[in-house]
Chain A
Amino acid sequence: MNIVQKLLVATALPLSLVLSGCGETAPKNKAVYLLIDTSGTYTQELHKAQAIINYLLANLNSGDSIAVARIDSGSFSEKDILAKTTFDMRPSTANDQKRSFKQAIDEFANNLKHGSANTDITGGMLQATEYLNETGAGEKYVFIFSDLEEDLPDDYTRDFPISMDNIHVVALNVTKLRSDNIDPRDYLNRLDNWQHRVTEGGGDWRVLNDLERMDRLIVSN
C-alpha cells in the first residue's frame, strides 16, 4: 500500500464515519410559546414578561420559533397571538427578525391600558400546543406568565384533558393572590391542579418564580 492509498484510507475512514451518521435525524430546533396573563392586576407584571422575551430572543437561534400570546377572556384564538416568527437560517436576517419581534412586543406593552375581565388559561394552552405541534420542532416549550388563577366566562367549557406530548411547560412568576395569603393551600392546590393537567396530557411541568434564574428556562441538551 503506497502513501497515496494510505492517505485515502485515512481520509475516507473518518469521512465514512461522519457520513454514516447522516440520514433522518431528529430536528434540533426549538419552539417557544409564551402566554402572558393580561387579566386584572397582573398587567403590572408585564415588564417582567418583556425581560423574559428579551432573554428568549437573545438565546434562540436560526431555525427556532417563538410566539407570544396574551391570556384574556377567550384565549383559544389566533387573534391573541401578539407576535410569532421562525428565525431565518441566515443569522443576520434572524437578528433583524428579533429586532422586529421586540418592537412588536414593546408596542403591545406600551399600548395595553386595561386588563381583560376573565382569564382563559386553558384556551391559551390549547392554542400553544396547536402552534408548537405545527412547528415540528425538536424541543417544545410553553411558558405561562400568570398567577394560574383561571376565571372563565360562564358558557366556556375547558374541563377536558389537553394533549401535551413532549411539551415542556414552565410556569413563570406565579404570584400569590390575596386569598392565598389567607389560605396558602389554595396556591398549592392551584399549582398541583395545573401540574396534574399537564403531566396527564403527556407534558412536563416546572415552576420558575425566581426570574434571576432564567438560564434554567430552556434546558440545553
Chain B
Amino acid sequence: MDALLTLWSANTAVSATVWLLLAMTLLYFGRKPAHSMLRTTGEGLRNVLRLTSRSLSQLERHLVKRNREVLLAAARNDAERRIEREFTRIQALVARDLSGYPALHRDIAAAISNIEDTYRESGENPPLPPAWSEVVNTIAALPSHGDPAVAKVLNNIKGAVEDTHKETLKAWQNSAAQRHKLLSKMQPEWRTLNDKADAVAATVDGLDKRTHQLDKQMAQFEEIRRGEDSAVRSLTSSSLTQFFIAGLVLTIAVMGGLINFQLIALPMSEMVGGTSYIGALKTSDIAALVIILIEIAMGLFLLESLRITRLFPVISSMDDRMRRRMMVISLTILCVLAGIEASLAYMRDLLALDREALTQSLTGVTAAAGGVAASHAEFRWIPSIGQMVMGFILPFALAFIAIPLESFIHSLRTVLGLLLVGAIRAVSVAARALGNLLDHSMKLLMSAYDLLIMIPLSIERLVVSLRSSTEAVADAIPDVTATDEQPARKSRKGRRSKADDDTAAAAA
C-alpha cells in the first residue's frame, strides 16, 4: 500500500494527487459505459422484481379465489347439514305431534258432540202454561151468588188449579235445575276442547318456529350459494373464531391426555416391563400412549357413528344397522379401556405406596415419623378412589376430542389459506419495494460517480458553454457571405446542438 502511495513521488500527497487525477481521468472516460451499466442493472433488477411481484400477486389472487371456493364449499356443506337437521326436526315434530292429530280430531269431535247433546237436552224444558194464572183469576172472579155449593165447587176448582199450578211450577223448577246440572256437565267438555285447541296451537306454533328457522337457514344457504362477499366475510370470521376456540379446547384435551398418561405410565411398566426401549422412549411409555390414542380413536369412531362429527365419510355413509353396531363396539371398547385405566390408576397408587415404604425403610425414617404416616393411613383411600375415578372418566372426556378436532381441521384450512395469502402479499410488496429501491440506488450510484469526477465534468461543461457563447457572437455579426455560408453554419450548429443533446442525455 505504501509502495503504491509513493509510486509517483516520494511525497505521499503528490503521489496521492497523481493517483487521484489518474483515477478521475479513467472514471471520466469510462463514465458512459459505467452509467449504462448501472442504469441497465437497476432497470433489470427492478423489472425482475416487478415481474416476481406480479407473479406473486397473480398467485395471491388465485389463492384468494381458491380459499373463497373452499370456504364457500365448506359453508355450503355445513348449511346443507343444518338444513337437513332442521328438516329432520320438523319431521320428528310432525311425526310426534301431528301423527296424533286424527286421535285429537276424534277427541275434539266427541267433545263437540257431547256438548251438542248436552245443549239439546238442556233446551227441552216444559214451559209454564201462561193461561193457568188467567184461569185461576177467572175462577176466583166467578160470582158465587151466595150459593155455598157453587162457592165450594169454585173453591175446589180454584184449589185444584192452584195445586196444579204449584206442581207445574215445581216441575219447571226441577227441569231448570236439571238443565243447570246438564250445563255444568258441559264445563269439563269445554275445558277439554280448550286444552285440545291449545295443544294444536302449540304444535302449530312449534312447527311455525321451525319453519322460520328453516327459512333463515335457507336464506343463508342462498347467500352462500350466490357467493356473496358478506357471506364470505362472515364465514372467514367464523372460521377464525372456530380455529381459536377449537385450538383452546384441544390444548385442554392435550393437558388431560398428559394427566391420563401420567396415571397409567408407571403401572404400564409392571405389565410390559420398565427396561425395554423403542428408540429413545420406554416401551411402557409407548404402551400407555397407545392406550390413550386408542381411546381417542374409539371416541372418534363413536362420535362419527353417532353422526355428531363427519371426519370419515365411510362411517357416515354406512347403513343405520351397521352404524349402530359400530357405535356399540366403539362404546364397549371405550368402556373396557376406561376400566383398564381405572385399575391401572389403582395399581399406580399401590406402587407409589410400595415405593414410599421402601424409601422410608432405606432412609431409616424414625418410628415417630412412621407413626405420623400411619395416622394418615385411614385417609389413603381418598386419593386411591380419586385416581380410579379419574382413570375411568378421562377416557370418555378424551373421546369428545373429536368435536373440537373436526372444527380445528376444518378451520385450519381457512386459517392456513389466509396466512399463505398474507405471506405472499407481503413478499410481493417487498419485491416491488426492493426493485424500486435498487433502481433508485443505481441512480444514486450514477450521481455519486459523477460526483467523483465533478472536476473534469465541470471543465467539460465550461468548454461547452464557452463554445456555444462564441457561436452566438458569431451568429450576431452580419456577414456578406452569410447567405452562402448560412447553410454550412446551420449544419455545423445543427451538429453541435446534436452533440450537446447527446451530452445532456448522457448526463441525465
Contact = CB atoms under 8 A, between A and B. Distances in A.
Interface stretch (B338-346, B360-368, B382-390): B360-368
Contacts of A63: 274-275
A84 interface: no
A91 B280 contact: no
Q: Which residue of B270, B274, B278, B409 has the most chain A CB atoms within 10 A of its CB atom? A: B274
Contact of A89 (B266, B274, B311, B313): B274
B351 interface: yes
14 contacts: A3-B409, A4-B312, A4-B314, A7-B311, A18-B278, A21-B280, A22-B278, A28-B277, A54-B364, A58-B358, A90-B270, A92-B354, A95-B355, A98-B362
Contacts of A54: 362-364
A58 B359 contact: yes
A92 B281 CA distance: 21
A98 B266 contact: no
Interface string B300-313: 00000000000111
A28 B276 CA distance: 9
Nearest to A94: B274
Contact of B361 (A22, A89, A102): A102
A90 B269 contact: yes
Nearest to B355: A95
A4 B273 contact: no
Contacts of B364: 54
Interface in B47-102: none
Contacts of A19: 278-279
A61 to B, nearest CB: 7
Contacts of B275: 29, 62-63, 89
Contacts of A7: 311, 409
A61 B409 contact: no
A25 interface: yes
B279 A25 contact: yes
Interface of B: 266, 269-270, 273-281, 311-314, 350-351, 354-355, 358-359, 361-364, 409
A178 interface: no
Contacts of A18: 278-279, 281
Contacts of B359: 58
B279 A21 contact: yes
A98 B350 CA distance: 17
Contacts of B266: 91
A57 interface: yes
B279 A99 contact: no
A92 B361 contact: no
A6 interface: yes
A76 B328 CA distance: 67
A2 B313 CA distance: 10
B270 A92 contact: yes
Given A89-B274, A91-B351, A62 B361 contact: no
Contact of B274 (A6, A55, A61, A102): A61
A18 B313 CA distance: 29
Nearest to B405: A7
Contacts of B363: 54, 58
Closest 4 A/B residue pairs (Cβ): A21-B279, A63-B275, A89-B273, A62-B274
A6 B409 contact: yes
Contact of B270 (A3, A57, A91): A91
Interface string A6-25: 11000000000011111001
Contacts of A29: 275
B311 A4 contact: yes
Nearest to A59: B362
B355 A91 contact: yes
B279 A22 contact: yes
Nearest to B406: A3
Given A6-B409, A7-B311, A21-B280, A91 B274 contact: yes
Interface in A34-65: 54-55, 57-58, 61-63
B29 to A, nearest CB: 64
B257 to A, nearest CB: 15
Nearest to B276: A89
A162 to B, nearest CB: 29
B277 A25 contact: yes
B311 A3 contact: yes
Contacts of B409: 3, 6-7
Given A57-B362, A90-B273, 7 more contacts: A4-B314, A19-B278, A62-B269, A62-B274, A89-B274, A89-B275, A98-B358
A91 B276 CA distance: 13
B446 to A, nearest CB: 53
Nearest to A62: B274
A191 B361 CA distance: 35
Contacts of A22: 278-279
A61 B284 CA distance: 14
Contacts of A91: 266, 269-270, 274, 351, 355
A19 B283 CA distance: 12
Nearest to B293: A11
Contacts of A58: 358-359, 362-363
Contacts of A102: 361-362
Contacts of B281: 18
B353 to A, nearest CB: 10
Contacts of B350: 92
A48 to B, nearest CB: 13
Contacts of B278: 18-19, 21-22
A95 B312 contact: no
A16 to B, nearest CB: 11
A25 to B, nearest CB: 6
A62 B273 contact: yes
A52 to B, nearest CB: 11
A3 B304 CA distance: 14
Given A62-B273, A90-B269, A95 B354 contact: yes
A18 to B, nearest CB: 6
A16 B351 CA distance: 33
